[in-house]
Amino acid sequence: MIIAIDGPAGAGKGTLARRLAAHFRLAYLDTGLLYRAVGHAVLAAGALPEDPGRATCAAEALDPAALDDPALRGEDTAAAASKVSAIPTVRVALLAFQRRFAATPPGGAKGAVLDGRDVGTVVCPDADVKFFLTATPEVRAERRVKELRERGLEAIYARVLRDMNERDARDRARAVAPLTPAQDALVLDTSTLDADAVFKRALRHIASQNSA
């Protein structure tokens, strides 16, 4: 089983993806971490994330072990990730990584859950089940601030909301793999839903798909 979950930051796709992976014993990949790792590598090298050459080299040299770096969760890295993700050659370099993960999940898993922004439309267009999670920018910013503060990081709501709106605009406007729901994805607005409610709706949808 391949489950694709897309949506903007703060919509809850990571939480849902991890719960579904644990429930069905599937491998899990946060595809956004790939772009965060590339953005972080470019910043660490003292270059600009908008630099196609530097960003592409970082993507082609990506070490999977780098995905465990706590620094990838920072806001500066998130902004850099959004910028490198708009570079076509970066997306090409990381596409193969994601498709290999889905085709041959690690640990002998019988399938995989991938979450990101173009999993259902580009990475795994033939996924068995597709979700697109969304929520208002204000709710998503509140969730992000709470998450950052729980990790002991400074977070200012106004700045987080501004950065989130800028990232949304870049992700939706990019020429390659823009942020948009797949035609056959179930769209869930999680603005007024908690994680348990989202999980239950997802399970019902998967059950309906499997019985169809």
**What CATH code is carried by the domain that includes residue 175?**
3.40.50.300
The tens digit of pLDDT for each residue in 159-182 reads 999 988 988 888 888 777 788 999
Instruction: Judge whether 154 lies within some domain.
Output: yes
Instruction: Judge whether 205 lies within some domain.
Output: no
Instruction: Judge whether 53 lies within some domain.
Output: yes
**pTM of the model as a whole:** 0.88
Q: pLDDT value at position 92?
A: 92
**b/e for 82-118, b at 16 or more Cβ within 10 A?**
bbbbbbebbbebbbeebeebbeebeeebebbbbbbbb
Amino acid residing at 93? A
Instruction: Judge whether 166 lies within some domain.
Output: yes
- Give me the number of domains the chain comprises: 1
Instruction: Judge whether 14 lies within some domain.
Output: yes
Instruction: Judge whether 210 lies within some domain.
Output: no
Instruction: Judge whether 69 lies within some domain.
Output: yes
Measured in degrees and rounded to the nearest 5, phi and psi for residue 3 equal -115, 125
Query: What's the domain range around 56?
Result: 2-197
The tens digit of pLDDT for each residue in 93-131 reads 999 899 999 999 988 899 999 999 899 999 999 999 999
Q: pLDDT value at position 24?
A: 96
Instruction: Judge whether 175 lies within some domain.
Output: yes
